C-alpha cells in the first residue's frame, strides 16, 4: 500500500469545504517528503490538500461517483487555498498530477453548462 493510499481514512468533517464562496486559506500547509520527491514539491503540497478533502468527503459518504470519491474545485479556488501559487501554476500542478497518474479529472456536475472540474485520486482504494 502506497503512502497515498494510507492517507485515505476517516474524519469528523461535515460538508464540502471546496466551495469557493466559503473557503478561506488554511494557515498551515504541508506535504509528505516521499511524495515531494516522487511527484514534485508543488504537486505534493496540492496533493496533500486534495487527499485531505477526499478523506473528509469519503468519511461522510459524499461525492461518490463511478467508484471514487471526488472533490469539486475550480483553479481559482485552488489559488485561494494556496495563495502562494498563481492561476497558471495551479493549472500546471494539476496537469502534472494528472500526467503522473496521481489524480484524474472529471465532470460530475448536474448541469451541462457547469464546467467546474472534479478531481479524484487515481489510486483510490476500492470500498
To the question of pTM greater than 0.85 for the whole model, the response is no
Instruction: For the domain covering 31-121, report its CATH number.
Output: 1.10.10
Instruction: Name the one residue in this structure whose C-alpha cell is 471514487.
Output: 68
More confident residue, 60 or 88: 88
Spatial distance between the Cα atoms of 65 and 107, rounded to a whole number of angstroms: 10
Looking at residue 25, what is its pLDDT?
Answer: 61
Share above pLDDT 70 across residues of the chain, in percent, rounded to a whole number: 76
What band does 126 get if pLDDT is binned at 50, 70 and 90?
low
**Mean pLDDT on 121-126:** 78
Residue-wise pLDDT tens digits, 67-122: 899 999 999 999 999 999 999 999 999 999 999 999 999 988 888 878 789 999 99
Q: What is the mean pLDDT of residues 37-49?
A: 96
Q: What DSSP string describes 79-114?
A: HHHSTTS-HHHHHHHHHHHHHTTSEEEE---SSTT-
**pLDDT bracket for residue 49 (50, 70, 90):** very high
Q: So where are the chain's domains? A: 31-121
How far separated are the first and last CA of the chain, in Å rounded? 15
Amino acid at each position: 500500500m502506497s503512502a497515498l493510499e494510507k492517507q485515505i481514512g476517516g474524519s469528523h468533517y461535515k460538508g464540502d469545504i471546496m466551495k469557493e464562496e466559503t473557503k478561506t486559506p488554511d494557515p498551515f500547509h504541508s506535504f509528505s517528503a516521499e511524495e515531494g520527491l516522487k511527484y514534485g514539491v508543488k504537486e505534493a503540497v496540492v496533493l496533500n490538500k486534495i487527499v485531505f478533502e477526499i478523506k473528509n468527503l469519503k468519511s461522510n459518504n459524499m461525492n461518490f461517483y463511478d467508484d471514487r470519491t471526488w472533490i469539486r474545485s475550480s483553479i481559482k479556488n485552488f489559488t485561494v487555498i494556496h495563495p502562494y501559487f498563481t492561476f497558471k501554476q495551479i493549472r500546471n500542478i494539476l496537469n502534472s498530477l494528472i500526467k503522473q497518474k496521481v489524480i484524474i479529472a472529471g465532470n460530475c456536475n448536474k448541469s451541462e453548462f457547469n464546467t467546474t472540474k472534479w478531481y479524484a485520486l487515481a489510486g483510490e482504494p476500492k470500498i
